[in-house]
Amino acid sequence: MYSCSTMWMFVLLMMVLTRTRSEDDSRVLTTQSTAEGSAPARMSRPNRRRKRNSTNTGATEQPADTEQQSVDPPKRRGPNLNLSVNRTLKDLPEGSKIPLRMDEHTISFIGTSATDFATECGIIMRNICPMNYHTWESVPEDAKTLMYEKLEGKFELLRTNTIFMEYVNARLHAQWKRTRGKWSEHWKKNGGKTNPQLARSKRKSDCPIQEWNHLCDYWELEKTKKYSDKMEANRAKQVNISRGGSRSIANHTYQMINPETQMPPSPLELYHKLHFNATKQGWLNENSRIEYVSIF
């Protein structure tokens, strides 16, 4: 017959063994549930943002969305798609094209279609014309013919009219110079004259890499640098600047015709529009104001 102390020791030993076995079983079950893809295993934890110490104790904490917006890069305007031309074509009868009206005195396009035509020239120049030619005259004729055909798909081109096509060629030439000028300014802004290798590595996104390398070779020539410096000095001498933009003076005149009397604006009214900005600084410079006074 066992003593009381022996019985108590036996009971305590059984309790310890039972507790240990239950804890082992519970751990095994927990591991299995996690391995099988339980909710705690699939749930993603939110990213915690470290709070920065602020000297302004009264400032309220900004939400996470506001902080994310401050980090994101600013949105930039994309390339012009000339959507107004597509809307105009939809309103015209099927198979029709947008007519172009030429002013007989200035030999230039006027009206809303003139602005759309200039924009379309820029799009075609950006997508089709090769820029590895350093003069407009050296651009191959087949490339120019392809550009004419692209324009003819949306606008009425009088291919047999020599004067008409000369102006079309002049508009394409102007857009060619404008595109090359933008790329050249990008090259200069990134240290093209002081660090050509760095500027070469910072290629403009809308310029193909082969054409970019070819243009960089051309801009790095000593002869090209001298010519560029000379042109910059000439442009700096121009004191009477205009805010007319890419729209021709003839088109500005056409847009300012009085709808009731059909009278065109006077030279004084036209000059005031092109050199005065009431919403900003007023006269573009002092010379513009002096010239305006001298017109009287």
> Phi first, then psi: what are they for 255, rounded to 5°?
-70, -25
**What whole-number distance in Å separates Cα of residue 143 and Cα of residue 149?**
10
DSSP code at position 279: T
Cβ within 8 Å of residue 49, ≥6 positions away: 64, 67
**Confidence (pLDDT) at 255:** 84
Closest CA to 234 of 222, 243, 226: 226
**Confidence (pLDDT) at 98:** 94
Contact assessment for residue 168 and residue 157, using Cβ atoms and an 8 Å cutoff: yes
Closest CA to 204 of 222, 227, 181, 174: 181
Contact assessment for residue 67 and residue 49, using Cβ atoms and an 8 Å cutoff: yes
**Confidence (pLDDT) at 76:** 57
Q: Both tokens of residue 254?
A: 């056409």
Q: Both tokens of residue 217?
A: 């070779």
**SS3 state at 98:** strand
Tell me if the pTM is above 0.85: no
Helix (H) or strand (E) holding 4: helix 4-35
> Which residue shows structure tokens 């513009």?
288
Contact assessment for residue 107 and residue 167, using Cβ atoms and an 8 Å cutoff: yes
Q: Both tokens of residue 128?
A: 């089709």
Q: Both tokens of residue 14?
A: 């059984």
**Confidence (pLDDT) at 104:** 84
**Confidence (pLDDT) at 156:** 94
**Confidence (pLDDT) at 5:** 58
Closest CA to 70 of 52, 82, 83, 55: 52
**Confidence (pLDDT) at 82:** 75
Residue-level pLDDT, tens digit, the chain, 296 residues? 455 556 656 656 566 555 544 444 444 434 344 333 433 333 344 444 444 444 444 444 444 444 444 444 555 556 667 778 888 888 899 889 999 999 888 888 998 899 899 889 989 998 889 888 989 999 999 999 999 999 999 999 999 999 999 999 999 999 999 999 999 999 999 999 999 999 999 998 888 899 999 999 999 999 999 999 998 888 888 777 787 776 778 888 888 888 888 898 988 888 888 888 888 778 888 888 888 888 76
